[in-house]
């Protein structure tokens, strides 16, 4: 069955839903489910997504979304489809740009507006695999676990951990997480997602309503996403197979070690599946 709604984890789909001025209320609704009460967004405007460092040797940063609320808070929203070795480093680096852009010429008291970096992740941090938390809310704290600075916040959403069913959704945050996980699988709008902002989202997300240019761009983006996921899946499967083969090899070597004192190398090789030279190496290693 052909998809009716776009996949929000594609670059094109994500920008279609959250990156266009006419329906910025969708982004506002989503972000407000993550923000504390004192930083709820009433309005925002998009800023340039490409930033250049202070000198020509600095690396260029290109954000998925960058915006400023009407009360001055800065937001970077990043979609990350696969594990990146230095993803946290990149988040820190990116956060420096909306901090630096607040600098003022002349006398300035250095007062800053809050900066939020939101990472929407289609993977799980290795160190958090045992945790059930979907939302990771990170701020600078001192040795007594007290917040040292509350104007720099990192919010990471590990969406593969979100497994609630439609009947289990209790909040707008739950509904947003469900949409990220399942929008592309839906054929109708469920009763649990009938709110005004969600009905607008479903209307925008209908692939059949795309013009020819939008459809081509989305199909290319979807292909890239599926190819990338396929590469990750294959690498995972190959890694598991390598692990299983290493386990089998260790079992054969352990069996061979137990037979060294009672059988010759040729017989041990036949019984364990190792080569005779491998058995000889084990014997030399054991006799050291």
pLDDT score for 52: 57
pLDDT score for 244: 72
Q: Is the pLDDT of residue 55 over 70?
A: no
Residues 15 and 158 both lie in one domain = yes
- Within-domain flag for 2: no
CA torsion 53-58-60-65 (nearest 10°) is -40
| pLDDT single digits (tens) 242-263 | 767 777 788 888 888 888 888 8
Neighbours of 284 (CB within 10 A): 9
Q: Given pLDDT bands bounded at 50, 70 and 90, which one contains residue 265?
A: confident
Q: Given pLDDT bands bounded at 50, 70 and 90, which one contains residue 56?
A: very low
Residues 152 and 64 both lie in one domain = yes
Residues 168 and 219 both lie in one domain = no
Q: How far apart are CA 89 and CA 130, in angstroms?
A: 22
| pLDDT single digits (tens) 153-185 | 999 999 999 999 999 999 999 999 999 999 999
Structural domains of the chain, count: 2
Choosing from 209, 225, 241, the residue where a domain stops is: 209
- Within-domain flag for 4: no
| pLDDT single digits (tens) 187-239 | 999 999 989 999 999 999 999 999 999 999 999 999 988 887 777 667 656 66
Across the range 40-68, mean pLDDT stands at: 75
* Angle separating helix axes 11-18 and 212-259, nearest 10 degrees: 130
Choosing from 163, 186, 209, the residue where a domain stops is: 209
Residues 81 and 133 both lie in one domain = yes
Q: Is the pLDDT of residue 280 over 90?
A: no
Residues 182 and 251 both lie in one domain = no
Residues 84 and 162 both lie in one domain = yes
Residues 184 and 252 both lie in one domain = no
Q: Which domain holds residue 39?
A: 11-209
Residues 166 and 62 both lie in one domain = yes
Helical H runs in 19-139? Answer: 24-32, 87-100
């Amino acid at each position: 069955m052909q998809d009716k709604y776009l996949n929000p984890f594609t670059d094109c789909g994500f920008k279609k839903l959250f990156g266009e001025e006419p329906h910025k209320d969708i982004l506002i609704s989503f972000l407000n489910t993550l923000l504390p009460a004192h930083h709820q967004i009433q309005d925002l405007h998009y800023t340039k997504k490409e930033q250049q460092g202070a000198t020509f040797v600095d690396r260029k940063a290109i954000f998925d979304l960058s915006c400023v609320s009407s009360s001055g808070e800065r937001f970077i929203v990043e979609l990350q489809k696969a594990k990146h070795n230095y993803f946290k480093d990149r988040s820190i680096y990116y956060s420096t740009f909306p901090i630096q852009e607040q600098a003022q010429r002349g006398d300035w008291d250095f007062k800053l507006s809050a900066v939020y970096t939101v990472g929407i992740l289609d993977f799980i941090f290795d160190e958090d695999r045992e945790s059930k938390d979907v939302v990771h809310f990170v701020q600078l704290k001192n040795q007594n676990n007290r917040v040292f600075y509350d104007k720099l916040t990192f919010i990471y959403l590990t969406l593969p951990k979100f497994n609630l069913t439609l009947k289990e959704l209790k909040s707008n945050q739950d509904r947003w997480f469900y949409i990220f996980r399942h929008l592309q699988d839906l054929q109708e709008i469920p009763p649990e997602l009938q709110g005004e902002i969600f009905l607008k989202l479903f209307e925008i997300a209908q692939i059949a309503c795309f013009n020819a240019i939008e459809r081509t761009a989305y199909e290319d983006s979807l292909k890239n996403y599926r190819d990338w996921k396929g590469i990750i899946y294959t690498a995972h499967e190959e890694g598991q197979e390598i692990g299983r083969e290493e386990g089998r090899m260790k079992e054969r070597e352990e069996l061979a070690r137990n037979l060294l004192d009672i059988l010759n190398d040729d017989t041990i090789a036949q019984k364990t599946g190792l080569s005779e030279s491998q058995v000889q190496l084990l014997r030399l290693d054991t006799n050291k």
